[in-house]
A and B are shown apart, each in its own frame.
Chain A
């Protein structure tokens, strides 16, 4: 059974007010249910602008965007769309509303008008998935940057959205914080949630199924992650840096020491090498 398309962009164009050139120009693609899609591009490529179309924070100035079959331009669909596609942003500090951890996680469900017991269930679940259940009654200002970002994810999860969009969520985190966040996303992905992950760091896309590369508002390439890693020269053209480990993976694949199907992770490569 082919997975259905939950988001469809048809020739979407977007120009910011007072901008002289469009941020998005004729973008068409689909997000498939259950996939972990990476949206890659250098700064200014339009990836954040694109992400904001997925939950109707921005409406296309050209073309159309459909989320779970609903047209984002139809105002009536707004809140249903946003409860289906939840978004996490770059700055952990600027997403937190509540003074106490569990109160902040409850913000979304409160907005949905859910009864108190249901909110309790969702908050407890969201905090346990993100590893924050021990800090439920702590004040939010006492959390570290990584914990605040995990709380932002918990707040989005409390809406119980089938799809999660994350816009450069690790940009302001330290390496440990990045690893913690990615491991949470891996769990969510394995449970069937659709994840759209915007980044310029190639090393964070190793667990993704598919990738889309944007440049100057246009889709330059789309395909599987392993295919992307083998595109040596193209990456630089697209303004993407090939991380040292991925470069190592590429060299080993080219020499036929490991196969293309080996995941570009430390464990993956080590296992492949030790089997030789």
Chain B
């Protein structure tokens, strides 16, 4: 059971002067319980790709194939809603989609749409709030009066409440401080432990390298490299990708290695420190 994308191509405004190729022959595959990160610069096509994963966008004829748990994503298909139920998509700045008068109504929106009975909703909502670390006391509160961090958690809960098999998140750490980022990654890792598939779309390479099982790097709509974090680090250290900044620790490691130092290509500051100390002590 997986998400499979084959040779996907997406062209905005075809046959007009504004024609842009957003994606060209992109392939990917991910399973439940796996963390795939899609990284690239702004405009590399990653957000467009994310929208294909939950059938908000559907491949045009001859422009590739997307299948989610054996549901094929085709124009006009009746299976599209099933795909949207299976794959939850969280947009950037998700707190901007809040609309309800109470947290309960906000979080109940998705499960209600997917047919959960009214009598079961309360349990489902409470469960979703627990997953994002918020207590039941939030149920009656007005979402618009919550803090920024709380709003984002509510928005996340509202997608988790539909119990999707996969969670696709587009730049979920945007606007968060370091603590907020850490908490979010912890939350997502625990979701992964529970068996959800995580697809993390970002330009923050640091998180991608630390948390992912595999990474897909996009540049200008095309795949540059795909594989586990080690493979990506090797590839990026040899061929820098436009608009993708390496974490500074890794950048230093790469420069030192190019200068003849024997240091691991790591983004972990302690590892690099230890190997620098060893090297310095030796000489």
Main secondary structure of the interface of A (DSSP, over half): helix
Contact with A along B271-283 (1 / 0, CB 8 A): 0110011001001
Tell me whether B41 and A203 are in contact (CB under 8 A): no
Which of B204, B270, B277 is the one whose CB lies under 8 Å from A175? B204
Interface size on B, residues (CB 8 A): 35
Quick check: is A1 within 8 A (CB to CB) of the other chain?
no
Tell me whether A241 and B177 are in contact (CB under 8 A): yes
> How long is the Cα–Cα vector from A199 to B283 in the complex, in angstroms?
40
Beyond A244-B247, A252-B276, A257-B277, whether A172 also contacts B267 by CB under 8 A is no
Beyond A174-B203, A176-B245, whether A244 also contacts B267 by CB under 8 A is yes
The residues of B that contact A274 with a CB separation of less than 8 Å are 259
Closest chain-B Cβ to A131's Cβ sits at a distance in Å of: 15
The residues of A that contact B206 with a CB separation of less than 8 Å are 244
Among residues 135 to 173 in chain A, which have CB atoms less than 8 Å away from a CB atom of chain B? 144-146, 171-172
Report the nearest B residue to A245, measured CB to CB.
Answer: B248
Quick check: is B42 within 8 A (CB to CB) of the other chain?
yes
Closest chain-A Cβ to B40's Cβ sits at a distance in Å of: 10
The residues of B that contact A57 with a CB separation of less than 8 Å are none
> How long is the Cα–Cα vector from A82 to B199 in the complex, in angstroms?
46
The residues of A that contact B270 with a CB separation of less than 8 Å are 251
Tell me whether A42 and B256 are in contact (CB under 8 A): no
Closest chain-A Cβ to B282's Cβ sits at a distance in Å of: 11
Tell me whether B174 and A172 are in contact (CB under 8 A): yes
The residues of B that contact A174 with a CB separation of less than 8 Å are 41-42, 203, 243
Tell me whether B41 and A244 are in contact (CB under 8 A): no
Tell me whether A245 and B249 are in contact (CB under 8 A): yes
The residues of A that contact B43 with a CB separation of less than 8 Å are 144
> How long is the Cα–Cα vector from A251 to B273 in the complex, in angstroms?
7
Quick check: is A248 within 8 A (CB to CB) of the other chain?
yes
> How long is the Cα–Cα vector from A203 to B277 in the complex, in angstroms?
23
Of A48-56, A59-67, A120-128, A265-273, the stretch lying at the interface with chain B is A265-273
Among residues 226 to 269 in chain B, which have CB atoms less than 8 Å away from a CB atom of chain A? 243-245, 247-249, 251-252, 255-256, 259, 261, 267-269
The residues of A that contact B204 with a CB separation of less than 8 Å are 175
The residues of B that contact A21 with a CB separation of less than 8 Å are none
Quick check: is B195 within 8 A (CB to CB) of the other chain?
no
Q: Taking each of A177, A179, A266, which has the highest tally of chain B beta carbons within 10 Å of its own beta carbon?
A: A266
Which of B177, B205, B251, B252 is the one whose CB lies under 8 Å from A43? B177
Can you pick out 20 interface pairs between chain A and chain B where the beta carbons lie within 8 Å of each other?
A43-B148, A43-B177, A171-B175, A172-B174, A174-B243, A176-B245, A200-B178, A203-B248, A239-B179, A245-B247, A245-B249, A245-B269, A248-B249, A248-B252, A252-B276, A266-B248, A266-B255, A270-B252, A270-B256, A273-B280
Q: Give the A-binding residues of B (Cβ under 8 A).
A: 41-43, 148, 174-175, 177-179, 203-206, 243-245, 247-249, 251-252, 255-256, 259, 261, 267-270, 272-273, 276-277, 280, 283
